């Protein structure tokens, strides 16, 4: 015959059983749960997002390149320009900073998205479903992302060497002004411009904040009531009220 449990041991056993029952009901917090494996639909949507950001990067690069080309015409090698006193130089210096920041952000967004693509393509829910065309698309996106980052670095270095020295002692301000003719005839895609505070871009009705925005197909106009007729807007323009 077994010896009866002591009151103290019995109390411990009872507490242990109660704790076990409580723990069996506790579910892990969502924040601690393992992330769900990506689906092939999510992966395709991610690649589509990369293409969209690449297009944004290309549009801002076009505008920034035109700004820098105009600066090179204004201040050829061996000449000096003071952006604190010359209104044309001030406008270009301000645009270079605005479009440079926008291109940097676009290139970094592409880099981050492509990193996700590279990670997800090896997932067990993705890898077996990828076709040759999908893998080729990923490789092309990786190459395009690296190119965008190299371009951004080159633009930033050019601004630092040629434009910053001319604007020391002041902060060039953005003022309304037209864009620049694109030397590549028939280039397609959105057009990058700066939309100043108080300006309304039509027909979308987008309100300006002083940041770079993209105009689909480069067609639009500025009007508080959008009773204007859309016209062609050139890359690098600064649109104001």
Mean pLDDT across the stretch 217-229?
94
**Structure confidence at residue 18 (pLDDT):** 52
Which strands make up the sheet holding 200-202, listed edge to edge? 206-207, 200-202, 219-222, 231-232
Residue 106 reports pLDDT greater than 60 = yes
Residue 7 reports pLDDT greater than 60 = no
- Cross-strand bridge partners of residue 232: 219
Residue 148 reports pLDDT greater than 90 = yes
Q: Distance (Å, rounded) from C-alpha 225 to C-alpha 155?
A: 37
Mean pLDDT across the stretch 122-138?
95
H or E element that contains 149 = helix 132-158
Among 26-35, 102-111, 219-228, which is the least confidently predicted range? 26-35
- How many other β-carbons are positioned within 10 Å of the β-carbon of residue 121? 17
Q: Distance (Å, rounded) from C-alpha 162 to C-alpha 110?
A: 27
Q: What's the pLDDT tens digit per position in 151-210?
A: 999 999 999 999 999 999 899 999 999 999 988 766 778 999 999 999 999 999 999 999
Provide the percentage of residues in the chain whose pLDDT is more than 90.
Answer: 77
Rounded mean pLDDT of the chain? Answer: 88
Mean pLDDT across the stretch 82-96?
96
Q: Tokens 């690649």: give the residue.
A: 47
**Structure confidence at residue 80 (pLDDT):** 87
Confirm if 177 and 238 have CB atoms less than 8 A apart: yes
**Structure confidence at residue 70 (pLDDT):** 97
Residue 236 reports pLDDT greater than 50 = yes
H or E element that contains 159 = none
Q: Where are the domains of the chain?
A: 40-167, 191-239
Q: What is the DSSP letter of 28?
A: P
**Cα end-to-end distance, the chain, whole Å:** 98
Tokens at 77, concatenated: 């090698």
Provide the percentage of residues in the chain whose pLDDT is more than 70.
Answer: 85
Strands (E), the chain: 191-195, 200-202, 206-207, 211-215, 219-222, 231-232, 238-239
Q: Is 160 helix (H, G, I), strand (E, B) or coil?
A: helix
**Structure confidence at residue 35 (pLDDT):** 62
**Structure confidence at residue 9 (pLDDT):** 44
Q: Distance (Å, rounded) from C-alpha 141 to C-alpha 147?
A: 10
Q: Is 175 helix (H, G, I), strand (E, B) or coil?
A: coil
Distance of CA 213 to the CA centre of its chain: 11
């Amino acid at each position: 015959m077994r010896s009866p449990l002591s009151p103290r041991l019995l109390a411990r056993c009872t507490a242990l059983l109660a704790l076990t029952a409580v723990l069996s009901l506790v579910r892990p917090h969502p924040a601690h749960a393992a992330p769900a494996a990506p689906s092939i639909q999510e992966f395709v949507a991610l690649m589509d997002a990369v293409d969209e950001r690449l297009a944004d990067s290309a549009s801002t690069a076009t505008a920034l390149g035109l700004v820098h080309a105009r600066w090179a015409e204004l201040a050829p090698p061996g000449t000096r320009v003071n952006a604190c006193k010359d209104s044309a130089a001030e406008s270009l210096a301000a645009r270079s900073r605005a479009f440079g920041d926008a291109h940097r952000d676009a290139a970094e967004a592409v880099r981050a998205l492509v990193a996700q693509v590279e990670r997800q393509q090896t997932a067990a829910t993705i890898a077996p479903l990828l076709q040759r065309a999908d893998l080729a698309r990923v490789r092309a996106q990786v190459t395009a992302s690296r190119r965008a980052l190299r371009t951004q670095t080159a633009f930033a270095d050019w601004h630092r060497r040629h434009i910053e020295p001319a604007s020391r002692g002041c902060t060039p301000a953005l003022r309304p002004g037209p864009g620049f003719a694109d030397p590549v005839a028939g280039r397609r895609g959105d057009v990058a411009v700066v939309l100043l505070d108080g300006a309304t871009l039509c027909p979308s009705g987008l309100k300006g904040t002083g940041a770079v925005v993209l105009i689909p197909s480069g067609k639009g106009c500025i009007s508080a009531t959008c009773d204007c007729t859309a016209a062609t807007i050139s890359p690098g323009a600064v649109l104001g009220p």
